[in-house]
Structure 1
Amino acid sequence: MTPARTCRVAVIDDYQSVAHSVADWSRTGSDCAVSFFHERRTGKALVRQLAPFDIVVAMRERTVFDDELMRQLPNLRLLVTTGMANSAIDISAAARRGIVVSGTRGLLSATVEMTWALILGLVRNVSSEQNHLRNGGWQTTVGADLHGRILGVVGLGTIGTAVARVGQAFGMDVLAWSQNLDAGHTEALGITPVSKERLFMESDVVTLHYRLSKQSVGLIGRESIESMKPTAYLVNTAREQLVDTKALCDALERDAIAGAALDVFADEPPDAGHPLLKAPNVLATPHLGYVTCGNLGFFYSDAVKDIIAFLAGTPIRRLA
């Protein structure tokens, strides 16, 4: 694309105002004007915000780009998503409208580290104990042990595999399940492949690393949650929609499981009244899994490269 006018680039959902500082946006050239938006917008306000722009850089799945939104953005020619998958973008609709969609690389280690921060924080009651200490108290809880316990990994891709290896380093036995689990892969890792039913019944910590799709919505239903040990924990750094939220809230309210750690919500940021934010024994964080200096640097530096390649007529990392 060789624009006859200044090419306008919108970097949206930059909640922490860091996008401008972790990449060299001047590399897009003097013919590009880059604007950064830090507040989330929806509906007509979003359309008004984005209508003038030729290129939009979207952060993960914070904003939904469906066919109706893209229809109202006649200038849009390139949509860059951080990461190489974004279920909030209608890829088919983009292709029909001639909108190129490109992705970026990322550091999967960031999510692995966050998963273990949540697991350790949850089983050792770090947040509640800190609050007690700050208020003049001392030890009020007894933490759970990980050594010798069972870690259940739902989804043994790159992230799930790395999480499993850390579990083994803690001396945990690891079970794994997914719909397309490679038995040879699990055997090489010293991980036991099991049915979903057995994983939820036997695991002391269940951690989710499954990709969200139409088929995986509600993958972890009431039956799975109800089968967990009363001393077991559920950790979700994947997507909230994988889990039956009501069933999880019910289990937490009844102390049917020991607790849950959650880094993801169906609508982000969630409403203050979200039931999982009100449920007992929950450690909740605002989708910090990918929010590290290194990872954001990868995201936005690659976004710059995607823009440069598109303007040169040779789009890279295409999703559509």
Structure 2
Amino acid sequence: MNDAASTEVSNSPVGRSLRVAVLDDYQRVALEYGDWERLGPDLDVTVFDRNLDREEGKVALAPYDVLCLMRERMALPSGLIEALPNLRLVIFTGVRTRSIDFAALAERGIIACHTGGGEMQPATAELTWGLILSAMRHLPSEMAGMRDSGWQTTVGTVLEGRTLGLLGLGKLGQRVATIGAAFGMQRIAWSPNLTAERAEAAGVTLVDKDRLFATSDVLTLHMVLSPATQHLVGAFELGLMRPEALLVNTSRGPLIDENALIETLRAGRIRGAALDVYDQEPLPADHPLRSLGNAYLTPHLGYVTEGSYRLFFRDVVSVIAAWRAGAPINVASVA
């Protein structure tokens, strides 16, 4: 793990300022994208540009009144909350998160607020297709070959006429399905609550779960993670897939049994897996997925766009301003 890095902006001439910690700003854009001056001179903003583990967080975050979390990069469990004596406000970007112990915050009277959702749906749908095209046309290896003076080492596969399978057909799944139609793909879908009428309205055919895995050339996941959906894709489902099929996950890592997937990829039983999300994030440097040639990996970039980030940090500033004025906005529901 790299050494801790942070950037601090302090405008408070005298007295105790409001201390704000912005966590996991990997790209170091929080100070640029947020209108922090709007909050006045009595504000100290510290930006942490890497992930802190729980024990580091207990020490590094103890002085702060406000924590600003980027999506689910850093968890805020009860043990960490209890170790932060000055904490009064938590803000998380996006409209929902599973990484915060809201009950522990409520016990201490700490308010939790969220930002808007940004452009996450179109951004994630576009990244999904970026991964699909990269895998089907072997773009990572061909690009690396060009930089290494190489020329044409792979044979690609077209998408037209092939079958796109969607595990989940909510708003994001429907966006991905619409793009699949533009590529001339057949589109099928399954989820526990999907009806034939809803599928037909999206231009998709409802099939049962086994058929979805057995007949899809590209199978992409768009489900909310819950106890019911964890490891929804396991060894049995992977065993149903065609040898030439591609599995794509830009939703949540634990939807897939990671050990079963690694075994499947090592054995070459499917074409590959294109992944943007993982059980543990950041993905450890020595993780087995990093060494597999049929694993196409990106570092959870689905929502990482300029538009989303500018909205996130605009809203973070607005939430702090409203809270300081005694009229909190975007208060998170704990239900």
Tell me the TM-score normalized by structure 1.
0.95
Deviation string 1:156-214 (CA, Å, 9 cap, x unpaired) is: 12211111110111111111122222433321111112222111111000111111122
The one of 219, 237, 256 aligned to 1:206: 219
Q: What do you get for the CA RMSD once the two structures are aligned?
A: 1.4
Pair 1:14-2:18 in alignment: no
What does residue 309 of structure 1 align with? 322
Counterpart contact for 1:87–1:213, Cα < 8 Å: no
Instruction: Report the AA paired with residue 290 of structure 1.
Output: Y
SS in 1 for 2:31: helix
What is the CA-CA distance between 1:271 and the residue it aligns to? 1.2
Tell me which moved more, 89-98 or 295-304: 89-98
Instruction: Report the AA paired with residue 162 of structure 1.
Output: R
Deviation string 1:3-40 (CA, Å, 9 cap, x unpaired) is: x9421111011111011111211222333222111122
What is the CA-CA distance between 1:122 and the residue it aligns to? 0.6
SS in 1 for 2:58: helix
Counterpart contact for 2:258–2:279, Cα < 8 Å: no
Distance 1:165 1:28 in 2: 42
Counterpart contact for 1:245–1:276, Cα < 8 Å: no
The one of 189, 197, 203 aligned to 1:190: 203
Identical-residue share of aligned pairs (%):
47
- 1:182/1:100 CA distance change after superposition, 3 Å: farther
Counterpart contact for 1:5–1:31, Cα < 8 Å: yes
Distance 1:314 1:31 in 2: 19
Pair 1:71-2:87 in alignment: no
Distance 1:299 1:101 in 2: 15
Pair 1:273-2:286 in alignment: yes
The one of 141, 151, 158 aligned to 1:145: 158
Distance 2:50 2:138 in 1: 33
Q: Which runs of 5+ in 2 are unaligned?
A: 1-14
What does residue 112 of structure 1 align with? 125
What does residue 36 of structure 2 align with? 25
Deviation string 1:75-108 (CA, Å, 9 cap, x unpaired) is: 1111111111111111222222222111112112
Distance 1:153 1:94 in 2: 37
What is the CA-CA distance between 1:140 and the residue it aligns to? 1.3
Q: What does residue range 48-63 of structure 1 map to in structure 2 within 5 Å? A: 48-63=59-74
The one of 303, 307, 319 aligned to 1:290: 303
What does residue 259 of structure 1 align with? 272
Distance 1:305 1:181 in 2: 38
Distance 1:318 1:185 in 2: 32
What does residue 156 of structure 1 align with? 169
Distance 2:65 2:158 in 1: 53
Higher relative contact order (CA 8 A, sep 6+): 1
Counterpart contact for 2:220–2:248, Cα < 8 Å: yes
**Equivalent residues, number:** 317
Tell me which moved more, 45-54 or 22-31: 22-31
SS in 1 for 2:84: coil
Deviation string 1:240-286 (CA, Å, 9 cap, x unpaired) is: 11101111111111111001111112222111111211223111111
Deviation string 1:88-137 (CA, Å, 9 cap, x unpaired) is: 11122222222211111211211111111101001100011112222222
Counterpart contact for 1:82–1:104, Cα < 8 Å: yes
Deviation string 1:198-247 (CA, Å, 9 cap, x unpaired) is: 11111000111111122221111111111000010001111111101111
Tell me the TM-score normalized by structure 2.
0.91
What does residue 91 of structure 1 align with? 102
What is the CA-CA distance between 1:69 and the residue it aligns to? 0.7
